[in-house]
Amino acid sequence: MLGYVKCDEGELLVKHQRLYRAVYCGLCHSIRVTGMHALLPFHNYDFVFLALFRMLVTGEPLSLERDRCFLHPFRKGKQRLCHNPTLAYTAFAALVLTVEKMRDDLLDSDVSFSRRCMIRLTLPRLIRALRRYEKNESQMKGLSEKVAALLAEGRELEKASAELDILCENFARCLSLLFSFGTSGKEARLLSGMGDLLGRYLYTLDALDDREKDLKSGAFNPVLKNGVLPSDKALCQMDLVLSFMLGEMKKILDLVEGEPNLLAICENIIGRGLPATAHPILNPERGDKNERPV
C-alpha cells in the first residue's frame, strides 16, 4: 500500500477534505497512544483508506476533537478523529506492513547503502513496538506472523520467477487478511473482498512502476518478458485489467450502507485517486506523476 493509495483532494468537497485530514491526524495520534512511536517517521496517507473503509463497513461512530499537533505546537489546533479501535488497529496494520517492507528492502540488491543503514538502525525499534503491542493486545497475536509468512512465500515465488497472476494472488491474500482481521459475517466478506482486489491492483502497479529500474539492474519483474519492457499493447491490456479491478472495488462500495462522508472519500480514492496514480506509470511519456487523468 505504500505510496499509491491516495485521494484526489482537488475533487473532494471542503468538508470531505477536512475529514480526510482529520482521519490522518487521528491515526497519527493513535500511533502515539498505542506506544508505536517508532512508526511516526513513516506515517503517511496510504493507510487512511484502510481506516476509512473499516469504519465505513463496521459502522464505527465518528467523533472529532480539536487538538494541537505535537510537531507544530504553536499553530492553531486542527480537528482530528478521536482515538478509536479502528484507528488503533490501522496503526498496528501499518506497523506490520512497514516492518515487512523494510525486511524486503534489506533483501533487495538495488537498495542504497544509506537506506540499508537507516533500516538496520530503525527496524529493531519497530519490531520491539510490534511485539510489545501484540503482548498487550492478545487478540492481535499471530497476525504479524501470518503476514510475514505470506510475504515470505511471495519472495520465494519471485525467486522462482512466478507469473504475475500468482504473485498478485499472494499479495491479495495478505491485504485481504489485514483488511478483514477481527471481523465476521458480511463485514468480513466486504473487507476481505476489498483487500483482495486492492492487493492485486497494488502489486501490478508496483511491478509496472519498477519495470525500467529492474530492467537496468537485471532484477526479476513479472511484467518483463525475456528482459524486454512490455509493449504498448501489453500496457493497454494491463490498463484494462487495472480498470476492471477498480470497477469491482466500486461494486463492493455499492454494497456498503454507511456514513455518507466516509463513503464519498472512499469513492474518491477508488474512482479518482488510484487512477491518477496509475496514469503516469502506464503513460510515462504523457506527463509527470502529478498529472491527473481527465
Question: 77-131, pLDDT tens digit by residue?
Answer: 688 999 999 999 999 999 999 999 999 988 887 788 898 999 999 999 999 999 9
Q: How many CA atoms lie within 13 A of 283 on its CB side?
A: 13
What is the pLDDT, as a whole number, of residue 187?
95
Whole-number Å distance between alpha carbons of 135 and 283:
46
Domain coordinates in residue numbering, the chain: 9-265+281-286
Identify the band that residue 1 occupies on the pLDDT scale cut at 50, 70 and 90. low
What is the pLDDT, as a whole number, of residue 257?
87
Identify the band that residue 294 occupies on the pLDDT scale cut at 50, 70 and 90. very low
Q: How many CB atoms lie within 10 A of CB 233?
A: 8
Q: Quick check: helix, strand or coil at residue 65?
A: strand
Whole-number Å distance between alpha carbons of 291 and 271:
15
121, with CB counted inside 10 A (0-12, 13-18, 19+), is exposed
pLDDT, greater one: 79 or 168:
168
Whole-number Å distance between alpha carbons of 40 and 183:
27
CATH class in words for 9-265+281-286: mainly alpha
For the residues 272-283, what does the mean pLDDT come to? 92
> Which range (106-120, 144-158, 248-262) has the least confidence?
106-120
What is the average pLDDT value for the chain, to the nearest integer? 90
What is the pLDDT, as a whole number, of residue 156?
93
Cβ-based neighbours of 85, under 8 Å, separated by 6 or more = 60
What is the pLDDT, as a whole number, of residue 293?
43
Distance of alpha carbon 6 from the chain centroid: 9
Question: 27-74, pLDDT tens digit by residue?
Answer: 999 999 998 989 998 888 889 999 999 999 999 989 998 887 776 666
Whole-number Å distance between alpha carbons of 18 and 78:
9
- Cell readout for 96 is 506490520
Which residue in the block uniquely carries the three cell numbers 482530528? Answer: 80
